[in-house]
Homo-oligomer: A and B are copies of this chain.
Amino acid sequence: MSIPALEVVSLSYHYPDGTEVLREAGFHIHPGERVALLGPNGAGKTTLVFHLNGIFRPETGSVQVAGLPVEDENLMEIRRRVGIVFQDPDDQLFMPTVRQDVAFGPANYGVEGDELRTRVSDALSAVGMLHVADRPPHHLSLGQRRRVAVATVLAMRPEIVVLDEPSSNLDPASRRELADILTALDITMLMVTHDLPYALELCPRALVMNDGSIIADGPTREVLSNRELMKANRLELPLGFDPNFDR
């Protein structure tokens, strides 16, 4: 038995204003797995994501990354291993230029010189944004910003990537290109998405979250074929889409 890449045990959390968001959420992901996290708006997915690298701390329960508990002394190490692409690219980008923004993460871990330059241009070419490298990120279109946000995480070469709706605001070709990048990466991945065909394409396994708990866990195709489950969690396949078609 390998150590889980990510292990979340009965996690609870409420926001300072009293809203209870996570209620005993728990799951684990093994190294190399690609898992989709599905669920309605307001289910607590983003809040859960914020726990995975210690931005939020569990009230009860625990989070472990490759056996390391998310605690002060491990934070630097955990943040090197877990790369998070935030749901809102404006949360992710803060440096004066795109290039500096992508370099920020690796530079914090001591990468410098040529190595740093290569990493930055590799990451930016992977998302097709090398030509905007010297522009300020907040002067890009929303879709462009989302691609740069993905690059900032790729440049850190994390072992686990967590993506919070990476495909929203992307044009259809970029959406497919992103899927190609992600499948080529061969790392552990947790992806929050509302795009069910995308989830099916990328992730063999799916978790369903509602009202702060994980209420289903299984092969994505099975989850998407379970009528009651889908209906109870505001999940619907697009008109004319059959999860069991053969690709």
A interface residues with partner B (beta carbon < 8 Å): 15, 17, 19, 39-43, 46, 87-88, 90, 135, 139-144, 147, 165, 168-176, 194, 196-197, 201, 234-242, 245, 247
Contacts and interface: CB of A to CB of B under 8 A. Distances in A.
A181 to B, nearest CB: 15
| Assembly stoichiometry (copies) | 2
Nearest to A86: B142
Interface centre among A41, A144, A170, A235 (most CB of B within 10 A): A41
Contacts of A141: 41-43, 46
Nearest to A40: B171
Contacts of A239: 197, 201, 247
8 contacts: A41-B169, A42-B144, A87-B142, A90-B90, A142-B165, A169-B194, A173-B235, A239-B247
A110 to B, nearest CB: 33
A43 B197 CA distance: 26
